[in-house]
Amino acid sequence: MSQLKKFQHETARPLPIIILADTSGSMSVDGKIEALNLSLQEMIKSFATESRVRAELQVSVITFGGLQAEEVLPLTPAHAIEAMSSFDAAGPTPMGGAFQLANALIEDSERIPYPRAYKPVVVLVSDGYPTDDWQSAFEQFNQGKYSAKATRFAMAIGNDADETMLSEFANDPEAPLFRGQNARDIHRFFRAVTMSVTTRSRSATPNQSVELVVDEADDVEWEF
């Protein structure tokens, strides 16, 4: 093992990023699910290129659409993710189930080795209202030993999103609830989160918040 690789192995600490993605039926219109799929793939590719000298970015994706939430990507170092599957949109919005899965992951010190790991980043994206018992799951999330300390970003898509709940979820003073109306806004939000996380991972203090800056002029050439 080279001295550089040995140094990276010994010093890089896990920085978990957990994505809670709405894949309910309403995400199937106006190119939203396509934008979500492409944005996630782009985010993971960006994370995979980070140096891992100070922090190793690790990603988990939890979807909530249909009968139950599902951890479709277990927590994995971004550089080790070979491909990210695309999601279909269907069914109701079991967001409470997503909170339960995220809380179980964050509180599991075997999957996230505290205190060595940096505090997790949790990203919630939704265009509707939860259709399950989300209140008790959210309360448990807020009271967890580690989940209560996680940095949380949230995006409300469209006029039908539960902005009150999503505003309560977003706990970072540098990043209040982001409101978007279309597929391109989803892309802008994920680009901003990617920049915030990578900036944080390169800093001398990766546990500190970094401002979430959404570039309104940012555009893409995707056809939705």
Q: Which CATH number belongs to the domain containing residue 141 in this structure?
A: 3.40.50.410
pLDDT of 4? 46
- List, for the chain, all residue ranges whose pLDDT scores fall below the cut of 50: 1-9, 220-224
Residue 110 within a domain: yes
The domain tally of the chain equals 1
pLDDT at 210: 73
Tell me if 137 is assigned to some domain: yes
This prediction's pTM = 0.91
> Tell me, what's the pLDDT at 204?
85
Q: Which residue has the tokens 């690789």?
A: 5
Provide the domain limits for residue 79.
3-202
What is the residue type of 48? A
3-state secondary structure of 13: strand
Q: Give a yes or no: residue 72 inside a domain.
A: yes
Long-range contacts of 161-166 (CB under 8 A, 24+ apart): 161/126, 161/127, 161/128, 161/129, 162/126, 162/128, 162/129, 162/130, 165/129, 165/130, 165/134, 165/138, 166/124, 166/126
For residue 209, being part of any structural domain is answered with no
CB distance 146 to 112 below 8 Å = yes
Angle, helix 32-48 to helix 183-202, in steps of 10 degrees? 20
What local confidence, expressed as pLDDT, does residue 219 receive? 54
Peptide bond into 115 cis (omega under 30): yes
Q: Which residues of 99-133 are buried (b: 16+ CB within 10 A; e: fewer)?
A: bbbbbebbbeeebbeeeebbbbbbbbbbbbbbebe
Which residue is associated with the tokens 């509180």? Answer: 107
The verdict on residue 92 lying in a domain is yes
138: in domain: yes
